[in-house]
Amino acid sequence: MAFTVGELAKLTGITVRTLHHYDQIGLVQPSDRSRAGYRLYGDADVLRLQQVLIYRELGVPLDEIDGVIADPQALAKHREVLVGRRARLDAMIAAIDASERFKGAPMQPEDVTKLFEGYAEEARERWGETDEFKESARRTKQYGKAEWESIRREGDAIYARFAELMKVGAPASDPRVRGVVEAHRAHIDRWFYPCSTEMQRNLAALYIGDPRFAANFDKITPGLARFIHDAIAS
């Protein structure tokens, strides 16, 4: 079965302009033409388009996709990546559900483990070889219920204060904001790992770069993740 550009756009939700662009750069070209000269996409073209969209979603640049598709093992490799990502997302969802259950309730050490297990494997993959990760793992392994409760209270107070200052329109240069920024750095330094100003800025970049961090802060007050990032980065 063959599809015109308009038909394929309607069925897939991709704009006609995008399909024309893919054709122009040789990424997805229609394999046939109608008698009137209209582009016609066959089954193989549609399957190639699907692969292009998959790789785009995975962050592969357009100019590299053709080479990736040429690798017969590429799709299977990326499937493994997606399966791993799905497992981590499932763990994150479970962690979110756990955080809702534990709100306002005293937590046992095993509860804390459940709360953070969605992050553990990903954190190990991304930072497991860093001194900061190793130090954080060493310290937190010794924490019990009292320590985790102190961490939670301190953290909640810091982020609540950030939210208050954001609501009154305090600029990043405001001495009150600078004080909370230092309290935030000291909190990380005290409980997890030595936190320099540069390290704090790297952490703040995650607050807006990772949708999960941003969502957690913005649940307190919309826009809070950006406010905290800008306050720390300034």
- Give residue-wise pLDDT tens across range 87-103: 555 555 555 555 555 45
CATH T-level fold of 5-70: Multidrug-efflux Transporter Regulator; Chain: A; Domain 2 (1.10.1660)
The pLDDT > 70 percentage for the chain reads 79
pTM assigned to the model: 0.50
Range of weakest confidence among 63-67, 76-80, 99-103: 99-103
Residue range 128-233, CATH number = 1.10.490.50
pLDDT digits (tens, 9 = 90+) for 170-202: 998 899 999 999 999 999 889 888 888 888 888
Provide φ and ψ at 202, rounded to 5°. Answer: -60, -40
Label residue 130 by pLDDT band (50, 70, 90): low
- Which is more confidently placed, 207 or 105? 207
Q: Where are the domains of the chain?
A: 5-70, 72-123, 128-233
Range of weakest confidence among 7-11, 107-111, 152-156, 204-208: 107-111
CA distances from 152 to 18, 27, 73, 97, 200 (A): 48, 51, 46, 17, 19
Report residue 20 as tokens: 């024309």
Provide φ and ψ at 39, rounded to 5°. Answer: -65, 140
* Pairwise CA distance, residues 143 & 73, whole Å: 45
Looking at the DSSP bridge assignments, the partners of residue 33 are 39
Mean pLDDT for the chain overall: 80
* Pairwise CA distance, residues 49 & 23, whole Å: 11
Question: What long-range pairs does 13-18 form, CB within 8 A, spacing at least 24?
Answer: 14/49, 14/53
Label residue 232 by pLDDT band (50, 70, 90): very high
pLDDT digits (tens, 9 = 90+) for 5-39: 999 888 888 899 999 999 999 999 999 988 888 88
Label residue 118 by pLDDT band (50, 70, 90): very low
Average pLDDT over residues 54-62: 83
pLDDT reported for residue 107 = 46
